[in-house]
Chain A
Amino acid sequence: MSVMKSSAEVPAPGSPEPAPASGPLVDVRDLSVVFRKRRTLAAPRIVRAVNDISFHIDQGETFGLVGESGSGKSTTGRALLKLVPAAAGSVTVAGHDVTRLRGKALRTARRSMQMVFQDPYSSLDPSSTVAASIAEPLIVHEKLSGRAARERVHELIEMVGLRASYADRYPYEFSGGQRQRLAIARAIALNPGFVVCDEAVSALDVSTQNQVINLLERLRAEFGLTYLFIAHDLAIVRHISHRVGVMYLGRIVETGPAERVYTAPAHPYTRALLSAIPDPRRKSERIVLEGDLPDPARPPVGCPFQTRCGHVMDICRQRVPEPTVVEGGGEVSCHLQTSGPTLAGAPLSALPKGPGPAA
């Protein structure tokens, strides 16, 4: 990795369990993303895929974003790299407001922000060798010569635990896990400070999944990477994340240190999600949520989770809950915390039993 220390953004290698250094590397404030779909003979369908969310990620930290499909977690990841435009709010990465960057400045900023996608079958070009795919960012951004790029490609391929001799093979010759390693090699080729992993291990078998997670952890410690780790698998997110955000219908309903969110969830949705994790020796009754996510084009007025919540109150149908600080770290947006049986930051388990709808 000595060859390409391009700028000062690579900090000293951290210990395996670093206390994240300095201030936030990524700061998201009141971000909204709106999709408009034109329709013939009908008003356009407007979807607020991301609705007024705020969070930050410290340098060297892994922030996990969980939620069901349609919750807006992937859109959030894309908006952070300006792969989709923001309708409102700001995204500051290493001091630059990404939402305002364009042209050359955007291209320069993107060198330090990379993404690993879910499906390595479609994110690697099937008609080029993996060496060509990994070399492309080096040639575009670093203006490396063919030979220098090749050396660097070999180095990268070995860094992700594969043999350099694999460089001239085509994607179809690799297994899913190996392909994902190659996608990671390409993502770290330019020494990015910030990497968005969008369901990066979801398509892999359990035994390979762990290999790739261990690799991501090793790279983070070695190069001081900062991750936004998007996944629907809560167990994996718990393992890899320092802090976690839970999304529902375009909003972040709860954030906090991973340990706190998993052991003492403060939002009814978080609790239901956790109870949905399969467990061979379940002791508590599983909470099975009824119904589906509401149509994001017609979200309910008030709290987004009201249609499936066992604790719904009148106020939930009127006002969007404001974030409240939670004991043990983080914030939750739920009226239970502020109205009715006031929890004021206490975990949900402090609520009296009998989750019937309140009058």
Chain B
Amino acid sequence: MTPEHEPAKLLEIEDLHVDFLTDRGWTNVVAGVSFDVGPGEIVGLVGESGSGKSVTSLSVLRLLPPAYTRTPGGHVRYRGRDLIGMPQRELRDIRGNEISMIFQEPMTSLNPAYTIGDQIAEGYRRHKGGSRRAAFARAAEMLDLVGIPDAGHRVRDYPHEFSGGMRQRAMIAMALVCEPRLLIADEPATALDVTVQAQIVALLARLRDETGCGILFITHDLGLVAELADRVVVMYAGEVVETAPALDLYDAPKHPYTAGLLSAMPHLGVRGEELPTIPGRTPEPWRMPEGCRFSPRCGHANETCTAAPPEFRIVGEGRGCRCCRTEQLRLVGSP
């Protein structure tokens, strides 16, 4: 480790733009996203499908296919170093070592032809060196850490011998084997049952407490993020629309989209009553509405909203919001 100065922020994303090459040419899908993650902090990145949350998280480690994607603007700084312009060789030393990632589909992210232990050991040997035997022992230790019973034996199992929840825990073990400072978890609990989800969330919280790593937790489930995250970043149609400390967001959302998501959370329903919905659907990236991107679906929109795109503004202690009418609105949180 180089003893350089330690920036207060682990990860800083600043005005990030990402374009995809489609039939219609270059299409912008992430439009000026900015937020940061501090050491030991858990930040929840929330949005529906198509909001750009996964693209944002993939562009941190530059995992998007370069032939079809480009980053025309913005910075992604990890401890002060910009990852966007970094040569691949340097980036490879960071990937899986200082920043690692967990994906949604544990079955497709594991190689069925190698044992769980081999796959955990591989990254460790790449970054930390050491003998095969030592790396394998380390793999067993990691499996034990993430709560796999009888880890010493199960480390020799193949992925198909693990249940869905165990595979996800193996993925987490793989991501943590080099003791990263930042963990990016992209919907790590989404395909799992609620009871397993609860296990994974409890595990991530414990790992943060024990290792002090920062976690960027990407999900569409506002309930899940509330239990885990310190701060929440809400994305809509490629933009950040609101950031706030987790509980503040639930008590008093500032953006109508956040309020809509909170009211649509299913546990609030009473039988026989119509469930609240957000009318319409997320816009296609090549057909973004004029002005505020949420205005066509917003019950509070007026002429000012469609006239010009609203700025992202500071609206309180640790809070930001992209809504020009927020001061005039009385939005309700989750009860």
CB-based nearest B residue for A177: B281
Considering residues B49, B265, B276, B277, which has the most beta carbons from chain A within 10 angstroms of its beta carbon? B277
Stretch of A123-131, A203-211, A310-318, A342-350 on the interface side: A203-211
Give A32 to B265 CA distance when docked, in angstroms.
36
Instruction: Count residues on chain A whose CB falls below 8 Å from chain B CBs.
Output: 46
When the two chains form their complex, are residues B277 and A211 in contact, meaning their CB atoms are under 8 A apart?
A: yes
CB-based nearest A residue for B257: A207
Give A210 to B278 CA distance when docked, in angstroms.
9
Residue contacts A-B, CB under 8 angstroms, 11 given: A209-B266, A213-B275, A214-B275, A217-B272, A233-B266, A238-B267, A242-B271, A273-B194, A276-B194, A289-B199, A292-B196
User: In chain B, residues 30-67, which have Cβ atoms closer than 8 Å to a Cβ of chain A?
Assistant: 48-49
Q: List residues of chain B with CB within 8 A of the CB of A217.
A: 272, 274
Give A282 to B264 CA distance when docked, in angstroms.
19
Q: List residues of chain B with CB within 8 A of the CB of A235.
A: 265-267, 269
Give A337 to B134 CA distance when docked, in angstroms.
51
CB-based nearest A residue for B270: A239
Give A271 to B267 CA distance when docked, in angstroms.
16
Q: List residues of chain B with CB within 8 A of the CB of A234.
A: 194
Query: A207-B278, A278-B226, A282-B227 in contact; A288/B202 too (CB < 8 A)?
Result: yes
Query: A207-B260, A282-B227, A289-B199 in contact; A175/B271 too (CB < 8 A)?
Result: no
Is B69 an interface residue when CB atoms closer than 8 A count as contact? no
User: Could you list which residues of chain B lie within 8 angstroms of chain A, going by C-beta atoms?
Assistant: 48-49, 149, 163-166, 193-199, 201-202, 220-224, 226-227, 246-247, 250, 260-261, 264-267, 269-272, 274-278, 281, 334
CB-based nearest A residue for B278: A207
User: Could you list which residues of chain A lie within 8 angstroms of chain B, going by C-beta atoms?
Assistant: 16-17, 68-69, 175-178, 205-211, 213-214, 217, 232-236, 238-242, 258-259, 272-273, 275-282, 286, 288-289, 291-293
When the two chains form their complex, are residues B222 and A276 in contact, meaning their CB atoms are under 8 A apart?
A: no
When the two chains form their complex, are residues A16 and B221 in contact, meaning their CB atoms are under 8 A apart?
A: no
Give A175 to B201 CA distance when docked, in angstroms.
30
Q: How far is the CB of A80 from chain B (nearest CB, A)?
A: 22
Give A238 to B265 CA distance when docked, in angstroms.
13
Give A258 to B220 CA distance when docked, in angstroms.
26
Q: List residues of chain B with CB within 8 A of the CB of A282.
A: 227
Q: List residues of chain A with CB within 8 A of the CB of B221.
A: 206, 278
When the two chains form their complex, are residues A281 and B250 in contact, meaning their CB atoms are under 8 A apart?
A: yes
CB-based nearest A residue for B48: A205
Q: List residues of chain B with CB within 8 A of the CB of A233.
A: 194, 266
When the two chains form their complex, are residues B195 and A289 in contact, meaning their CB atoms are under 8 A apart?
A: yes
Give A261 to B275 CA distance when docked, in angstroms.
21
Considering residues A272, A280, A286, A289, which has the most beta carbons from chain B within 10 angstroms of its beta carbon? A280
B195 touches which of A205, A206, A213, A272 (Cβ 8 Å): A272
A206 touches which of B163, B198, B261 (Cβ 8 Å): B261
Give A178 to B266 CA distance when docked, in angstroms.
20
Q: List residues of chain A with CB within 8 A of the CB of B275.
A: 210, 213-214, 239
